[in-house]
Structure formats: structure tokens, C-alpha cells
Chain A
Amino acid sequence: MTARVGVITFPGTLDDRDTQRAVRAAGVEAVPLWHRDKDLHQVDAVVLPGGFSYGDYLRAGAISRFSPVMGTVIEQARAGMPVLGICNGFQVLTETHLLPGAMLRNNHLHFICRDQKLRVENATTAWTSDYAQGQEISIPLKNIDGRYVADERTLDMLEAEGRVAFRYLTDGPTADGYGNPNGSLRDIAGITNEAGNVVGLMPHPEHAVEPLIGTGRTDGLGFFTSILKKLVNA
């Protein structure tokens, strides 16, 4: 049996074809899903890729969250289907409340595109099991609304329950003056839900799967091999 991972395209989604390529690179079948179609076409997991769905005009992710496909995704995610939200996809997941918190404009107010070092803080989720706990990886970061915020109680809860999945490493070069790249609270780059099936992060693992392309690293491939193992062993 082959695992099937759906990749949703909203109007304004940009990284859908890249994400399909990354899914295939891990040996998984990639299934394009369309925002207007409620049917998930028997996929075993879903990725919400990056971009500017609906132009981010109201608020990043705010409109996509009401699309027909998301109704089904929310239902299935609650039933345990693995869901990964990358960048704009993470923003959509917070809008649906599948994940807590929200993303604000970067504290320096600029779009930033760079290779970003992260630490994998939770290697037990559906999307991170192929990494080692505490492993450091570098994958591209590119956004303007990437500053993760939540109230103190929520942040404490996330920490206590081990639900901070990735943290920005700020010990790298800070010559660009940004330090933590966007002012995210507690350096949070990504989080998971309680069950570990829903994960969202701002950086882009799908852009780090081939040695030739982009930063030349393949540190992002682990997301997609993790889900392959999860689905095949299920």
C-alpha cells in the first residue's frame, strides 16, 4: 500500500507544486486537493502549503479557513488525520483553532528570506519522528507575518505539554540585526496539537529536500519521511 498525502491549493497558494515535489521525494504519492472540493480523495494526510491565500488581504489565513475543503480537514484532523501547515498553512491552522496562537507582522516589519537554523523540540509528532530530539536543522524561512504570539497561559501550556515543536536558534550570526528572525514569543517556530497529528511551522521544509536546489541542504526531507513511516506502519 502506498501512502497518499494531499496538498491543498487555495487561491493565492504558492508552494503547492514545491510541496508535491517534496512529498514525492520522500516516496509518497502526492494528491492535489482543490479548496472548493470538500472531498479529500482518500488521502492519508494533508499538507497546507505556503503562499498568500486570498492575498492575505483580510488577515493571513483568515478566509481560507472557511473554504469547503477546510471543513473536511478540520473534521478529519480532530479524528486523528495527520495535518501539516507550512507558513501560510500554519496561519490557516491557527485560524481554525486546530492550533493555538496567532501570527503577527514581523517585528522589523520586513519580508525576510533566509536560511534559518531551528531546533527540533518534539521528535514524537507525526511529522517529526524521523528527527532526533533536539536535532538542529536549517531550512528556508520566508515571510512577512511570521511572529508567533499567544497569551502567557497558552505559552506555558505549550511548554509544559511539550507542544513547542520547533524553536528558532538565535546563536547563529546576527549580523542582519534580527536575532530571533521575527520576534516570535519564546523563539517559537512551530507547534503541535496535543495528539501530535497536527503540526504547524513558519519555515519551509519543502524547500530543503534536494542538495542542488535552494540552500543546498536536505534538512527538510525528514518531515516527509516521518509521515511516510507513520502511514506505512499504521
Chain B
Amino acid sequence: MSLDTVKHAAETPETDQPWAELGLKQDEYARIREILGRRPTGAELAMYSVMWSEHCSYKSSKVHLKQFGEKAPENDALLVGIGENAGVVDVGQGYAVTFKVESHNHPSYIEPYQGAATGVGGIVRDILAMGARPVAVMDPLRFGAADHPDTKRVLPGVVAGIGGYGNCLGLPNIGGEVVFDPCYQGNPLVNALCVGVMKHEDIHLAKASGAGNKVILYGARTGGDGIGGVSVLASETFDDAKPTKRPAVQVGDPFQEKLLIECTLEIFREKLVAGIQDLGGAGLSCATSELASAGSGGMRVELDTVPLRDSSLSPEEILMSESQERMCAIVEPDKVDRFLEICEKWDVIATVIGEVTDGSRLEIFWHGEQIVDVPPRSVAHEGPTYHRPYARPEWQDALQADDAAALPRPADAAELRAQVLQLVGSPNQASKAWITDQYDRFVQGNTVLAQPEDSGMIRIDEETNLGVAVATDGNGRYAKLDPYAGAQLALAEAYRNVAASGARPLAISDCLNFGSPEDPAVMWQFAEATRGLADGCQVLGTPVTGGNVSLYNQTGDVAIHPTPVVAVLGVIDDVTRRTPVGFAEEGQLLYLLGDTREELGGSAWSQVVHEHLGGLPPKVDLERERLLAEILISASRDGMIDAAHDLSDGGLVQALVESCLRGGKGARVVVPDAVDPFVFLFSESAGRAIVSVPRSEELRFTDMCGARGLPATRIGVVDGDELALQEQFSIPLAELRAAHEATVPGLIA
């Protein structure tokens, strides 16, 4: 086939083009022709098709995402907001932290190992591109039913992929989640988060400015992997009838990425780049158009200079390839030599592929002939916008009316005891150590807290002990019952987790996992969840710094539970003041903070004991969450508590069991007067935590709670080697440990 040049395209307007196969709609194709004033070339069509895909353009979601900016709370800490590779937050002492959570759901279902591995690689390059040294990763994961045969295929592959890539990169994996639910059976959610640290002056942005500056592509050679990955994989619902899409998943090389990180950091140290962008989804199409679109001029690229792994690749394929471990930098001409020298030192291939021009077009050439001539903004930032119809689904009322309060409860103390063991041994509530022990949490030597703690905590300054904490949370069951409240509960839980560790929450990133936006019911869930999250962030004072939307997580007509996953970043001035979850010292007093109401809708108990999902999720009170967080942070800073654990799914009993097992200490617990023991143990009321208070601090602590109006109820004492609930039951720690720790290895092995 002859080369489809710009000139040729202008001369052959009638040529049939495969726009539908590339995922474009008829009106989108017509708009491209209108923008260009002619039909697009094959290469241009490839670029528009990937950049206008749902995954890259956010065309269905952006009308809702706008609220994150419009409702953003006043926050001096935000240095770089939504729209860049990742947001950047000021954490004091001249340090800035960048973090983001992203999805790699569809590739991970098709090819669990490579899908999950390249998910880690992609988010790490996003963080690196901001100018930061990546310092930690976390992985919120959701799989189908724990006992489903396909979960045995997907889960070990995903875990091995995350470990195989992240461990080889030298990034500690400090937290995340593992959730099982049949709704994720054909659509596992593999989200990945990375945190990076830099000094304020090191912040880099993705823009190409300064005519004459060189465009340098560096890192791995470009191959045929991942071609069409963005448009084909991330933007289409799985359907058993279609042929396999395996070749569209990218293949990762963590060793190359490690070299890329060290090489790039050295380049940053010498201040050699004027702009930088990583290559992820949509590859060179994305990097060149975004860099040019964000800059002031145009860009000219000689595509035939791109180093290839497969010399038979066509220019369209090179533009669409999602080969991993590549970056694109804009470098002033007199710094190019030094740039290339550093790449050589790290054995990283680097090639000048073009330059910034004083024009306004992105122009791409193939052996001297022009194959792309487009306004870059039309590709990168002015894609289609959809106002998709949305409507509250008819079944929502019936679902909310099916109240979990009506479910049969344990008849006596023996049954209560049995249900405690059943709960803490259920796949969702059981220990995930079998999984997290496959990740390196020690590398870099700055890990203060890691899973199963409430948040992951990293020291960022060895002299001052400044640190950051991150927690990710999401509860699809709550969000299914009420997407607005569900999103706020995810936010509240992550916020509470960060505070429980002693850190002050600053900002959030989110990964919004939903079904097909073409279904009005799903679109309603999305609209409600984004509205809930934006409103919630306003109250808590934590701006959304960026994130990712993953749609089309559904098989046939069946969508996943709406699953907004929220990551909260917090700062702690002195990591020696951190609060772990484990009970450390016998004799310390246990206090339950917050109010316990009878709230069982969407609870772990209703799922584990009755396989039930119905009613309303716990009530959200964000002012209460703020107050609770302030108390937890003050108590940590002033040394009033030695352990703290947030209460969420599984309620009080889950938290007690985890804190007992983590610290290797038992507890004697008393049910407060006029409280039903079952509700006391299993209710999932939000805005609560348990703390372990040294006797010498009790008065000071209760005075503080009283003065600020936070209910604090003394519920027991750290003691012995069993969990005892007075007048009800006692369970030896060994029995709890066996129930809690044997489940996950038993499911997978």
C-alpha cells in the first residue's frame, strides 16, 4: 500500500476510511474532516481515533468531572491541579508531593500479568514526568467471587504482575485493597497508585515551547505491542462473540523502566528539559499532540527516526503503539549533547525525532513526505464532549427498600461468636498477607507504615522526619445502594484512615470505575458519584488533584457496582509520632470514638452471613469526619494514643480483631449500657475509630474529646491473649488468627 500523505488525502476525498473499525462515530469522523478541511490521512485518522477514545478524551465524563474544579475548596497546598500528568501538593519544608491513581482494568482481565505490570509502569511514568522521584506504589484491586475458577486465573496473575514489575523497579508497595464480589467477575478492577516527591523548583510540566527546541524520544524501542490498546480495549465492552484481543495488551520491561527513572532524575538534576511527557495510552500520538497543544508553538516530527523493535511497522502503527518505558522530552539545542550523554550512561536509547516550530500545527513526516498536518489542540484537548442521558434506574427504589435491618440476627451468644469468626475469615475481611507479602515494602528504606496498617506512610526527609501518608478506599456495595453517599463514604474512609495514622489529609486523587456510559442508569450512577465526591471534597477541604475514569466495565448488560476509589494524601510533620493499628501494651484503655447507629445496609455482615445487598448505606456526616480527624491527629501529635484503627466494613469487631492480631495482644470489651451487642459489633456507622489510650493520658484525652464534642466511649482494655466480649463470648487469638489468615492462601493455592 502506498503512503497516505497529506497531499494524497487532499486529492482523494472519496476514499473509504475505516473510522468505524477504529471506534469513531460517524459524526466524529465528519468533525475531523471539518477541522482539516479534507479527509484525514491514515496516520491522522489513527491519531484522532485514539485521542478521541473514551479513555483519552473523557468525552462522556468530562461534563461531570468539571465539578471537581468548580467546587474545589480553597487550598493553598495545591501547586498543580487537574489536567497535568498528576496533581502536585505542597507538603512543607520546600517539598512537593505528586500522586495519582489510575486504572488498568481491561488489559488485566485479558492478560492479568502484563496488564497489571504495565499498569504500575504507566502510573510511575506519570509521576516521574512531573519531575518527582517515585517513592511508593499502592494497588486497589477488585476481583470476581473468591471461589470462582476464573478468579484463580486472574488474581495470581495480577499479583505476580504487580510484584514482578514493582519489585524490580525498587518501589515499596505500601497499601491498597483487595475486594471480591461476583459483580467484578468479567471485569476485575486493577487500579494503581504512585506517589512521588520533589522540591518545589523541580516541578516539570508537559508542554513544548521555544521554537527550535528539540523533541527527544528516549527509553525503549517502539514495537507492535499495544497497538489500538486504548481505543479497542479501554473503550469497548467485552463480548464473548468477538475474537480475542490479546495482542493489544502491552508488554512491560521493568528493568528498562528502572533505568528510565534514574536517567530521567539525573536529567532533571541538571535542568536539561523544558517540557516532558511520558508515553502511555495512545503512545506517540498522545505525547506529541499533548506537548504541542499545551505549548505555544507547533511541532515537527520525523517519524522515520523513531527506533523500532520491528522494522515492518507502518507509520500509523508507530503513532498508535503503546510500547512501554518511553518518554518524550523537549530540550534546548545547547543541552541536547549533555542529555544524550546521560542517556548513554544509563544505557537508554535516545533519539532527536523533531523540533518545536513557531507555527501552530503538528506536522509529522515519513521519509520526507508529510503524513500529518493537524492543529494539536483539536487532537489533544478539543475532542468530542457528550452530554449522555442519565436516569435513576427503576430498580433503585426496590433495592433501597430491601432493608438489611430485617435480616435474621444471631439468636444467642454462641451464634454471635460463630458469626464473628465467619466474618473475619470471609474473603473480603480476611488477611491479605499472602498477596501483600509478594510485594517489596522495605526498599528505599523510608517505609514507616505499610499494609495492613490504616495508611501507607513514607518518610520524605531523614533530618526533619517529615512524611506523607496515603490511603485508598472504595465500597462498591455502598455506592450501588446510593452512589452519591457511596462516593462520599469512600472519601470519608480514606480520609479517616490517613488521620488515624496521625497524618493531616491534604488532597485526593480518584479512580472512577463504572459500567457503560451508554446506559442511562450507569450514567446516573456516575453523575451522582461525581457530585457526591465534589461536594464531599468541598466540606473536607481536600481538592481533587487528578485521577482517572474507567468506563465500560460491564459484560453484556450487566455493569459492575459503581466503584469510585478514592486516594487521600496526608502530611505528617514528624513520622515518629505515627499511630499504628496494633494494640501494643497491656492495660491500655480502649475508646470507641463516634456514634454507633443501627446501620447494616451494604454491610460486610449482610454479605457474609446472608449474601444480601439492600437498604441504605451508612449515613454520611462529613463535619463529624473532620472533627474525628482533628482529634486523631492531635492525640497522635501529643502522644495521647498508642494505637488507632478506623472503623469501616466489618464494623467494630473487624477493627478489634485486626488491632489484636497486629499487636499480638488480646482485649476485654464491654458492651455499653442499652446497646445491642450485635449492633455494637457489626454496624458500619461511619465517622468512627477505636483508640488505645495509656492510663496516664486518659483524662487528657477524654477532656479533649469532651471539649470538642466528640463522643468517646470507654469500651474495654487491652489484655490477655483472647478477644473477650463480656457476658457474650471469648475467642483465643490463635483461633482468630487461624480464621483470619488461612482463607486467602486456601482460595488461591
Contacts and interface: CB of A to CB of B under 8 A. Distances in A.
Interface stretch (A76-84, A193-201, A205-213): A205-213
A55 B434 contact: no
Interface stretch (A38-46, A95-103, A107-115): A107-115
Q: Which of B168, B254, B259, B433 has the most CB of A within 10 A?
A: B168
B443 interface: yes
Interface in A120-171: 140, 142, 144
Contacts of A144: 167
A113 B255 contact: no
Nearest to B170: A14
A176 interface: yes
Given A55-B255, A142-B442, A214-B447, A111 B163 contact: yes
B459 A214 contact: no
A17 B434 contact: no
Interface string B624-667: 00000000000000000000000000000000000000000000
B456 to A, nearest CB: 13
B575 A52 contact: no
A21 interface: yes
B170 A11 contact: no
A207 B170 contact: no
Given A112-B437, A176-B433, A213 B459 contact: yes
Contact of B448 (A18, A52, A140, A213): A213
A14 B262 CA distance: 11
Nearest to B746: A177
Interface string B432-458: 011001111111111110000000000
A189 B646 CA distance: 39
B585 interface: no
B444 A17 contact: yes
A21 B749 CA distance: 38
A51 B170 contact: yes
B255 A14 contact: no
Interface in A172-196: 175-177
Contacts of B160: 110-111
B741 interface: yes
Contacts of A114: 437
Interface in B244-258: 253-256, 258
B437 A15 contact: no
B interface bracket (residues with beta carbon within 8 Å of A): 35 or more
Contacts of A21: 445, 462
Contact of B438 (A52, A55, A112, A207): A112
Contacts of B253: 55
B164 interface: yes
B445 A113 contact: no
B445 A57 contact: no
Contacts of A206: 445
Contacts of B446: 213
Nearest to B347: A11
A12 B255 contact: yes
B255 A52 contact: yes
B393 interface: no
Interface in A31-61: 51-52, 54-57
A4 interface: no
B438 A111 contact: yes
Interface string A1-28: 0000000000110110110011000000
B214 interface: no
Interface in B461-477: 462, 465
A113 B448 contact: no
Nearest to B173: A113
A65 interface: no
B60 to A, nearest CB: 38
B149 interface: no
Nearest to A19: B445
Contact of B440 (A56, A110, A142, A176): A142
B437 A176 contact: yes
Contacts of A56: 168
Contacts of A52: 167-168, 254-255, 258
A176 B742 CA distance: 8
B434 A176 contact: yes
Contacts of A14: 168-170, 258, 443
Contacts of B167: 52, 111, 142, 144
Contacts of A110: 160, 438
A12 B745 contact: no
A214 B575 contact: no
A213 B742 CA distance: 28
Contacts of A51: 170
B576 interface: yes
A212 B448 contact: yes
A213 B445 contact: yes
A11 B576 CA distance: 34
B255 A207 contact: no
Contact of A12 (B259, B440, B442): B259
Given A54-B255, A204-B442, A111 B448 contact: no
Contacts of B346: 11
A176 B738 CA distance: 11
B300 interface: no
Contacts of B258: 11-12, 14, 52
Nearest to A15: B443
B737 interface: yes
Nearest to B348: A11
A116 to B, nearest CB: 11
Interface in B705-748: 737-738, 741-742, 745
Interface of B: 160, 163-164, 167-170, 253-256, 258-259, 346-347, 433-434, 437-448, 459, 462, 465, 575-576, 737-738, 741-742, 745, 749
CB-CB nearest 6 A-B residue pairs: A55-B255, A14-B170, A18-B445, A207-B442, A52-B168, A111-B438
Given A52-B255, A111-B439, A177-B749, 19 more contacts: A14-B169, A14-B258, A15-B443, A15-B445, A21-B462, A56-B168, A110-B160, A111-B440, A113-B438, A113-B441, A113-B442, A140-B442, A142-B443, A175-B741, A175-B742, A213-B445, A213-B447, A214-B442, A215-B442
14 contacts: A11-B259, A12-B168, A14-B169, A17-B444, A17-B445, A18-B444, A52-B258, A55-B256, A110-B160, A111-B438, A142-B440, A175-B738, A207-B445, A213-B459
